[in-house]
């Protein structure tokens, strides 16, 4: 479905691009890195989504069964997609992705339940947007269930603005550049 989405006039950021290392609120050292395309990282992500609590699904993703998880991962790890992963050692603790949609990108972010409420989501979002800005992304949109106050709060804090609130889920947008600078 292609339609005109609205974005803020103002450019958000700047956001630091990965790699980023920080200590989360539970004292774990977390590395945020761009997905390197390796089989090892793919399998780590597949394991993360296999362990994902279905209660945290949003609009049907992540899917709940291994074959569907892999089909979905193949789709969002496409060549033009931008992906960053939050690592606790060898364990994928969180994942954020930008999937091309015309002249913009759709964003989604997932943090494994054991790693939630530790500040990882904020770092992961900023890392993804830094990576996006560096890669020449201009506009990003997402949808979120309106009752998900924690997520809406995080997106607003980072600079997303509500662009459509008439559907079941709310749409938000952010602008990373004005298009005059093509980026790196």
**Binding region for other proteins (CB under 8 A):** 1, 3, 58-61, 63, 72, 75-76, 97, 99-101, 106-108, 143, 166-169
136 backbone φψ class: left, alpha, beta (φ>0; ψ -120 to 50): left
The dihedral over CA atoms of 5, 6, 11, 13, expressed in degrees to the nearest 10, equals -60
Cα diameter, the chain = 44
Closest to other proteins by CB, 75 vs 113, is 75
Shortest spacing between CB 162 and other proteins, in angstroms: 17
Separation CA 5–CA 141 (nearest Å): 8
Shortest spacing between CB 30 and other proteins, in angstroms: 24
Sign of torsion over alpha carbons 46, 50, 52, 57 = positive
Closest to other proteins by CB, 5 vs 28, is 5
Closest to other proteins by CB, 118 vs 176, is 176
Shortest spacing between CB 24 and other proteins, in angstroms: 26
Separation CA 131–CA 142 (nearest Å): 17
What tokens were used for 43?
């399998």
Shortest spacing between CB 172 and other proteins, in angstroms: 13
Shortest spacing between CB 51 and other proteins, in angstroms: 19
Closest to other proteins by CB, 40 vs 166, is 166
Closest to other proteins by CB, 118 vs 142, is 142
Quote the DSSP letter at residue 178: -
């Amino acid at each position: 479905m292609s339609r005109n989405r609205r974005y803020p006039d103002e450019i958000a950021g700047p956001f630091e691009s990965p790699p980023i290392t920080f200590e989360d609120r539970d004292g774990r050292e977390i590395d945020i890195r761009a997905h390197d395309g390796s089989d090892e990282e793919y399998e780590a992500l597949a394991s993360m989504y296999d362990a994902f609590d279905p209660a945290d699904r949003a609009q049907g993703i992540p899917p709940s069964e291994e074959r569907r998880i892999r089909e979905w991962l193949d789709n969002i790890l496409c060549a033009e997609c931008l992906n960053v992963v939050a690592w606790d050692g060898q364990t994928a603790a969180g994942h954020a992705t930008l999937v091309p949609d015309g002249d913009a990108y759709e964003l989604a972010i997932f943090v494994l339940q054991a790693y939630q409420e530790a500040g990882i989501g904020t770092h992961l979002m900023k890392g993804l947007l830094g990576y996006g800005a560096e890669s020449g992304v201009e506009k990003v949109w997402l949808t979120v269930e309106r009752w998900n106050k924690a997520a809406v709060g995080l997106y607003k804090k980072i600079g997303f603005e509500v662009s459509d609130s008439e559907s079941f889920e709310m749409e938000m947008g952010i602008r990373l550049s004005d298009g005059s600078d093509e980026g790196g």
